[in-house]
Structure 1
Amino acid sequence: MSCNEESGNNVNEQDLKISLVEDEVENPKVGMIFESEEEVRNYYINYAKHLGFGVSKISTKNRSDGKSSYFSLACARYGKAISKAKNSFHPRPSTKTNCKAKINVTTKDDGRFIIPRVCLDHNHVLSPGKVQHFRCNKVIDSHVRKRLELNDLAGITLNKYYHSLVVEAGGYEYLPFGERECRNYIAKARQLRLGIGDAEALRNYFYRMQNRNPNFFYMIDMDEEGRLRNVFWADARCRAAYESFGDVITFDTTYLTNKYDIPFAPFVGVNHHGQSVLFSCGLLSNEDIETYIWLFESWLTCMLRRALKAIITYQCKAIQAAVRKVFPESCYRLCVWHIMQKLHMKLGGLGQYKAIKWSLQNTVYESLTYDEFERKWMELIKEYNLENNEWLNSLYKDRHRWVPVYVKCSFWAGMSTIQRSESMNAFFDGYVHLKTTLKQFVEQYDSALKSKIEKENKADFSSFTSTIPKITLFSIEKQFQDVYIHNIFKDFQEQMRGLMYCNTSIIKREGSVSTFEVKDHKAGKDGGFLKEVTCEVFYNAAEGELRCLCHLFEFKGILCSHIISVMIQEKVNEVPSNYILDRWRKDIKRGYTFVKNIYDDFSNSEQRLQKNNLIPLLYELQEFGAESGEKYELLGDKGKTHHH
């Protein structure tokens, strides 16, 4: 057995000093001492080269100062083979064989590094003659990097230069990197090349955009020395989309940090298809209260002082304080997903962590009423002696801001977390990266937004030109099939399917007001068993009012299977109009679709510019016509006269 752990015997450090010889490398041993993490890595990679295997770093643990306290260097074939192929009949090759060969490295009190455990056994064939192909050995030295940049600037093609490097080295096998690594480095160098003058280029870009479309909005915040500090902008289409979908937004600053360390701060909503829609965004130099106040005030100016109706953000005291100050009347809540992701960090050290985690998840996600949540929470705290846990106490104090049972009575367009903005951020991944410069980011932002609009246009086309077949004969389903967009109608059909699990009975009836009990059966987490959930449904036949304890309609704007079950039992064949939301309809032409964005291209005709200059007047006419019935009729008559 070649896996050894550090014994209690004293080890003579001098005897274990590494001797790196050109043709020979000493095998790793328990007790070896290294001066730095880089020295450990270089030693193990050199050792791996001689034996013929690749190296990867695993199981890293850092101290509070960011430096390593523990890590392992393992054979590159460490870990189990897991296929990531979408089609199981066409599996992708995997290099993993669950090889156990590795060394563990810990940091000593004096800052040096020691190996407390070694495993030398490999479960695969070693290939000393092919080590140049392992990723850990593909290193481009500074001389070659400089030549790559100069050749690229001079217009010399990469394949010519790479071939010369191969000839110079005496063959491909003697070159410690491939053409792909050279290509990746050149791409990175190009992206880093625009450094000086980025702020000015960004400002010029905004000027051009506003000249092309007067409804393009931006604000730039400079410090006392005239250096760029914060930026906020929104194009004409995004501003107009706020009219249709501004009922709920998500906000976070967790995604992009470019070469100037400026967090990306998008304001994101959801459109009629349930897709992410960007209203505006900012680039911030700081994440303190004053910066967020500046950003939110910029938003108010951009959106003509129309405050946010509802906002979802993550647990950040600075953001929460700025929201309370700038949007005092807005309904805001915290991201439940972000909070639950902290469980391991906050409670992982407790002896009964797994049981606490399960109980807490059940309390948060399965409680149907305030009383049920309160009871489960108190039982959890008492059973595991968590009365003095500050984090849990703070969560309980803010429960009305994040626990589903407290927030589901308000409309959130189905957005339960800030993962809506995270999905928007993922959309930008193909266009920007951590080293993108300011000017490049805004230009790529335009390309990403074009792609987003095209995706929405395709979904519109699909909803207008095709029909999703009904799954029942109920006229209620036909009513939603006729007016709802495809994605939302699919969600409604899920509720129709849920009817088979609902058992409805009347509790009491007083005149036109009735209360029903609906026993619903839902699959457990493993999908194997059904859990019974009881919901009460209130129905006022005279007023056409329906309410369910699950509050799905209030939360997402879609009728739940419990209400549908009651309507069917009461022989209600038509859903009252107030339960069909305009924001999910496909037969409404929304104002923002008339806004044709003029991006940073140079192919804009004079006629197109004139049309965009008239867009602000259209907004003013809409506002004028909505003020009263007479003004609406006046504009309507003018339109008819002009048409004839």
Structure 2
Amino acid sequence: MVDFHDNVSGDGVGGGEFGDYLYDNGIGDGVGEGEFGDDCYDNGTGDGVGEGEIGDDLYCPNSVDDMSLDMCVPPMSPIRDGQCSNVIEYRSPIKTVVSTNRDVEKYYKQYGEQEGFGVSRVQATKLKVTNERLTTTWKCECWGAPNMRAKREAKNRAKSMDVAGCGDKVNGVIGADKLSRGKRKLKKCECGATIYVGVNAKGDWEVRKVINVHTHDVNPSMSKLVKEYRMKNYTANVKKVLLNFYEEGVYVSKICKGLLHEKEEEEFPSFKDMQHEVYKAKRLKFEGGDANPMMTYFEWMQEDNQNFYHTHRLDEFGRLKDVLCVDARSRAAYEYFGDVVCFDATYLTNQYELPFVNFVGVNHHGQSILLGCALVSRETTETYKWVFQQWLACMENRAPVAILTDQAALMRNAVAQTMPTARHRWCIWYIVKKFSEKLGKCKGFKDFKSPLKAIIYESFTVEEFDRRWCECMKKFSLEDNEWLVGLYEERHMWIPAFMREYFWVRMKTTQRVESINNFFDGFVNRKMKLCEFPMRYTRAMTKRVQDENEADAKATKYIRRLVSGFRHEAFFQKIYTDAKFQEIQRELSRLM
């Protein structure tokens, strides 16, 4: 990029790279040569020669005042062959002397965007007393050696040990691990493109040095690879859409795809840019800790509705240990649908390793409803006992008639201590699921697997189950299997034949909890922060309320036709919801 200026009345020659403004204002011959920043002026009437960088005392007293704005402004370089034709050439308002260094930075970044390279501020000097900045250096973002970061990290490791990088030192230089070099792509290639400015005696900023030679290919189309230039299209409206949709549970990838339909991909922030903006927005909420915003939100919800219940406890170091919350609608639903409760602690564990446990019931539409939830630090009998006690306290100490959990001795002990009157049942699905793991190596496993399941599910009475179970154990020589012996001793906890005198709302497994877990997918995940939990929980509950209201509206507006000639069908049609009436029709159809 060469830009020669000749401002003489006779012959004039100027040579240099972009930004060379080597002016000869003489009447005779004038020659000027040097880099951007050369400030060598000759205002004589004869021959005039000036050469050198800024700082050379080769100023003519009247030369700067006589110079016009166009003479002080270096134009942008012309478009090279093969570059994008839509690049607009413009002239920056920057002069050799400006009021602030931000003007230089703005100009250099505009130039970098047009040419296709990024700009980094790499060095600055300040006064120790007033902290005023004296000099600033900007470079191409590809400045520095490719292994600069590895060397810096290796030096930090070498402070605590004599082994760093590749394990030793070569000629006194700490090396980097050769095997890890290929794990990270680098853009550093020791590019020397630089602009250097400093404060002069008058307090103004002046350009002192410019090096405009890159050691890598530069093309205007590469500007889209620089995040700073892409983020110019990250407007306040785009930010609002991104954060609002993310708070509603929409993944960043889907939000990004939706926004790309409105703008060209090359002119819009990338998916990683969007993720970083979401991360920065989330990080602002962590001030004062991660748990404090969550508790503040719970307190705000309790002030808004006195029936909202939450409680927590801390460990000996003052850190959050366990937290339980039950919203007002869950407490009201428990009064009507609290006969049978399903409790599960297998949903997920977030980054703090806090299991998300749920109390789940069934409403009049056959839908799973959430009756409370908790985040617990440890799965122990003492922890579950605290959760059950606090949950019963907010439910006016009215224990459910029956409770369903997984096969865990910790839960069994906690239920026995806090809800002794409730009929406790194990989830049969978890037990049957372990057949392959526990019995897969037994001889004839494929032969007795199906008969064993038939005995479990199809035995109508306790006596029938005992008889068929013993016959199966004897037939396949399984009397000495410790796992099956243990299950048989605890058969009253999971065999359906022992549960027929109790009302279970068609629940024999923790499938109701799994339904709730599917419902929370999209709102709660493993990467969720504690401060995000109450807001996600509230949005999930709002969605569940909308589903229930929609089912109520459909049951009221639409009437399902009768399919049999039984008199009782019309009676059930009036008193049951549509979901439960369909169950009645299926039973009646079997009698037809």
Return closer, same or farther for 1:362/1:227 CA change in 2, 3 Å cut-off. Answer: same
Matching residue of 1:291: 383
Partner of 1:437: 529
> What do residues 418-472 of structure 1 show as CA deviations (whole Å, max 9, x unaligned)?
1101110110002121110112122111111111001100111111111000001
Show the counterpart of 2:302. 210
Match of 2:130 in 1: none
- 2:325 corresponds in structure 1 to 233
Q: Which string of whole-angstrom CA distances, capped at 9 and with x for unpartnered residues, describes residues 448-505 of structure 1?
A: 11110011001111111110000012211111011100000001100011113xxxxx
Change (3 A) 1:154 1:231: farther
Structure 2 CA distance for partners of 1:464 and 1:149, relative to 1, 3 Å:
farther
> How far is 1:141 from its partner?
6.0
Task: Tell whether the 8 Å contact from 2:365 to 2:551 is kept in structure 1 after alignment.
Answer: yes
Closer, same or farther in 2 for the Cα pair 1:311/1:189, shift >3 Å? farther
What is residue 357 of structure 1 aligned with on the other side? 449
AA of the residue aligned to 1:245? F
Q: Contact (CA 8 Å) 1:148, 1:186: kept in 2 or not?
A: no
Q: Equivalent residue for 1:449? A: 541
Which residue type is aligned with residue 360 of structure 1? L
Pick from 544, 567, 585 the counterpart of residue 493 of structure 1.
Answer: 585
The correspondence of residues 605-616 of structure 1 with structure 2, limited to 5 A, is none
Q: Is the 8 A contact 2:286 2:293 kept in 1?
A: no
**Helix, strand or coil at the partner of 1:499:** coil
Cα offset, 1:195, TM superposition: 5.2
Q: Which residue of 2 aligns with 1:397?
A: 489
Report if the CA contact (8 A) 1:192-1:437 is conserved: no
Deviations 1:557-604 (A, max 9, x none): xxxxxxxxxxxxxxxxxxxxxxxxxxxxxxxxxxxxxxxxxxxxxxxx
Task: Give me the whole-angstrom Cα distance separating, in 1, the residues matched to 2:327 and 2:317.
Answer: 28
Any conservation in 1 of the 2:402–2:424 contact (CA below 8 Å)? yes
Question: What corresponds to 1:120 in structure 2?
Answer: none
Match of 1:262 among 343, 354, 357: 354
5 Å-filtered alignment, 1:203-602, equals 203-500=295-592
Change (3 A) 1:153 1:237: farther
- Tell me by how many angstroms 1:256 deviates: 2.1
Mapped contact 1:363–1:376 kept (Cα < 8 A): yes
In 1: Cα distance, 2:227 partner to 2:377 partner:
33
Return closer, same or farther for 1:361/1:306 CA change in 2, 3 Å cut-off. same
Note closer, same or farther for the CA distance 1:213–1:141 as it changes in structure 2 (3 Å cut): farther
Does the 8 A contact of 2:448 with 2:476 survive in 1?
yes
Q: Residue type of the partner of 1:237?
A: R
Structure with the greater alpha carbon radius of gyration? 2
Q: 8 Å contact 1:265–1:282 — kept in the other structure?
A: yes
Deviation readout 1:19-43 (Å, 9 max, x if unpaired):
xxxxxxxxxxxxxxxxxxxxxxxxx
**What one-letter code is carried by the residue in structure 2 that aligns with 1:343?**
F
What is the distance in 2 between the residues matched to 1:372 and 1:141?
69
CA distance in 2, matches of 1:231, 1:404: 34
* Stretches of 4+ aligned residues off by more than 3 angstroms: 139-144, 147-158, 178-196
Could you tell me how far 1:370 is from its partner in structure 2? 1.6
Tell me the SS of whatever aligns to 1:479.
helix
Instruction: Tell me how far 1:151 sits from its aligned partner.
Output: 8.6
Distance, in Å, in 2 between the alignment partners of 1:379 and 1:389 is 15
What is the DSSP-based 3-state SS (H/G/I as helix, E as strand, rest coil) of the residue aligned with 2:324? Answer: strand
Q: 1:329 to 1:142 in 2, by over 3 A?
A: farther
Residues 227-252 of structure 1: per-residue CA shift (max 9 Å, x gap): 00000011111111100000000001
Partner Cα separation in structure 2 for residue 455 and residue 140 of structure 1: 47
Q: Deviations over 1:303-324 (max 9, x none)?
A: 1111222100000010000000
Q: Deviations over 1:186-240 (max 9, x none)?
A: 6678667865611111110111011111111111111111100000011111111
Q: Contact (CA 8 Å) 2:285, 2:293: kept in 1 or not?
A: no
Task: Give the superposition deviation at 1:184.
Answer: 6.1
Return the offset for 1:350.
Answer: 1.8
The answer on whether the counterparts of 2:298 and 2:534 sit within 8 Å (CA) in structure 1 is no
Task: Look up the equivalent residue of 1:289 and give its one-letter code.
Answer: T
Q: Which residue of the partner structure matches residue 137 of structure 2?
A: none
Does structure 2 conserve the Cα–Cα contact (< 8 Å) formed by 1:311 and 1:332?
yes
SS of equivalent to 2:585: helix
TM-score normalised by L of structure 1: 0.50
CA distance in 1, matches of 2:439, 2:466: 20
Residues 192 and 435 of structure 1 are in contact (CA less than 8 Å); yes or no, is this contact kept in structure 2? no
CA distance in 2 between counterparts of 1:354 and 1:327 reads 40
Q: Secondary structure at the match of 2:553?
A: helix
Contact 2:286 2:531 in 1 (8 A): no
Distance 1:387 1:470, change over 3 A: same
Q: How does 1:10-89 map to 2 (within 5 A)?
A: none
CA distance in 2, matches of 1:190, 1:140: 27
Distance in 2 between residues matched to 1:150 and 1:310, nearest whole Å: 62
State the shift of 1:142 in Å: 9.3
Find the aligned partners of 2:228 and 2:485 in 1 and give their Cα distance.
56
Identity of aligned residues (%): 40
Runs (5+) with no aligned partner, structure 2: 1-182, 189-225, 240-265
- 1:199 match: 291
Amino acid at match of 1:366: E
Report SS of the residue matched to 1:333. Answer: strand
Structure 1: state its 5+ residue gaps.
1-138, 159-174, 501-644
Which amino acid in 1 is paired with 2:584?
A: F
User: Does the CA-based 8 Å contact 2:310-2:324 persist in structure 1?
Assistant: yes
CA 1:185–1:369 in 2, change beyond 3 Å: closer, same or farther? farther
Separation (CA, whole Å) in 1 of partners of 2:467 and 2:227: 66
Are 2:406 and 2:427, in contact at CA under 8 Å, matched by a contact in 1?
A: yes
Deviation readout 1:609-642 (Å, 9 max, x if unpaired): xxxxxxxxxxxxxxxxxxxxxxxxxxxxxxxxxx
Deviations 1:347-390 (A, max 9, x none): 11223222221121111111112222112211121122111212
